[in-house]
Amino acid sequence: MPVKATPKRITTPHPEIPIEVPEGMAPVEFFNSPANLKNLAEENGLFRTPEDLLMYRKLIGHSVEFDTSIIYDTSRKILDPLGRPVRRDQMPSQVRKVWERMTAILIDYMLEKYPDPAEHVVMCGEASLDATWPLNKPGVPSIRMIHNHFIVFPVKALEAAEDADPNDVNLTDSGHNTLFLRHLADVYMEFFEGLDLQILQPIAGDDISLAVTGYPQGLPSWVLKDGRERLYDKYFWYEYQQILLRFLDFYRAFFGLVSTGEERVPAQANFPNAVADILLGSPKFIRVARDLRERVIQDPQFANDIRWQPAYKQLLYRDDQGRLIVTISQNSVGNAITELLGIVVKRTTDPDAYAQVEEALVNRLLDARERLIAENLGEPISTRQWPSNRFVPAS
């Protein structure tokens, strides 16, 4: 009997975290300190490039099948957490090229090791971490530097998981917590349609949603023509970047209007003519922004939740037909990258359960690392638990 498509809530164990947060300091403030980032690399680091791109094991992770991240670790160069790059468009050109190469290699590895979409969900998600939020604001990600997530979930584990509450505030789709799609879907989609893309082809409909969860729902999406073959194509990454830049223009134009009440093209607009013609030329766009502006003025609690600077999650995932799909979502407060695909992760401290899966998980990450080593992109990191190329259980 087929499993009903509904968001799933999966439980993922993690060990005790041997880090003590100094008294009087909020955890999120400590996590963004250079001291913690140094500890992250020493205890969970896998690979570092000369550009300070750091691949590391996600100790409090989403999945125990495969779960790693690449972070642009600027913590030693930029001590101010609010001054660190939090989006791909803020990276220096050479850093971004290496970032894209590493991303392609790791996605390619996952697709090779998990070839059947009926058995595994494969995803790669990039998160912006809004650098204008106060450090101690609830929901702020634990490390305020841009990072990419590489995650695999067994489909059987998702099928066996309990149903998630479809009203969970962190689930992000066209009907929930996505302001642009709830109130401005036609203008939003029209704005994206103006992009001149050759490799990424716009695609819509329920057939790109995962059968097990029914997500994503209604987000602007594109299929990567020729799929895996294009991962190393610089023009694919150029088009991937164009989607982000288009999103940033929409976000800035909308919240700029909410903030000031002035109908003007943002100074840093990437597509100023499209902003002027499609967005500021839309009476609906203007009305929704002005309505939101009035609510911000009247409701202090609502005003405190506004993310004034661009906040997004951009995702590349494999659908049930084996196609590679790109999508982007306005980021709700605290939502995880997996929740774009309807997967809510409950992380639990369970050292015994984690110990049963840790060796196999880490060895898969070390295997993936071998691909980066072979490309001569940087140097492997040795830790207490992987002094070389294999996991060593703690004594």
Confidence of residue 1 (pLDDT cuts 50, 70, 90): very low
Is pLDDT of 134 > 70? no
pLDDT tens-digit readout, 314-339:
999 999 999 999 999 887 655 678 99
Confidence of residue 142 (pLDDT cuts 50, 70, 90): low
Q: Indicate the residue type of 249.
A: D
Query: Two tokens at 200?
Result: 């990424």
pLDDT tens-digit readout, 200-235:
999 988 889 999 999 998 889 999 999 999 999 999
Is pLDDT of 349 > 70? yes
Q: Please give the helix or strand (H or E) that residue 297 lies within, else none.
A: helix 283-298
Helix pair 179-193, 234-260: axis angle to 10 deg:
130
Phi-psi region of 334 (alpha: psi -120 to 50; beta: other; left: phi over 0): left
DSSP-derived secondary structure letter, 279: I
With beta carbons less than 8 A apart as the criterion, state whether 171 and 339 touch. yes
Residues 6+ apart with CB under 8 A from 283: none
Confidence of residue 13 (pLDDT cuts 50, 70, 90): very high
Handedness of CA 327, 333, 338, 341 (dihedral sign): negative
Residue 309, judged by CB atoms within 10 A of its CB (0-12, 13-18, 19+), counts as middle
pTM: 0.93
Residue 238, judged by CB atoms within 10 A of its CB (0-12, 13-18, 19+), counts as middle
Handedness of CA 15, 19, 24, 25 (dihedral sign): negative
More confident residue, 82 or 314: 314
pLDDT tens-digit readout, 238-291:
999 999 999 999 999 999 999 999 999 999 999 999 999 999 999 999 999 999
Is pLDDT of 146 > 90? no
pLDDT tens-digit readout, 171-206:
876 555 678 888 899 999 999 999 999 999 999 888
Q: Give the start-end residues of each E strand in 294-393.
A: 312-318, 324-330, 343-349, 379-380
* Alpha carbon of residue 172 to chain centroid: 12
Beta bridge partners of 314: 126, 328
Give me the residue label for tokens 């929901």. 139
With beta carbons less than 8 A apart as the criterion, state whether 290 and 283 touch. no
With beta carbons less than 8 A apart as the criterion, state whether 44 and 57 touch. yes
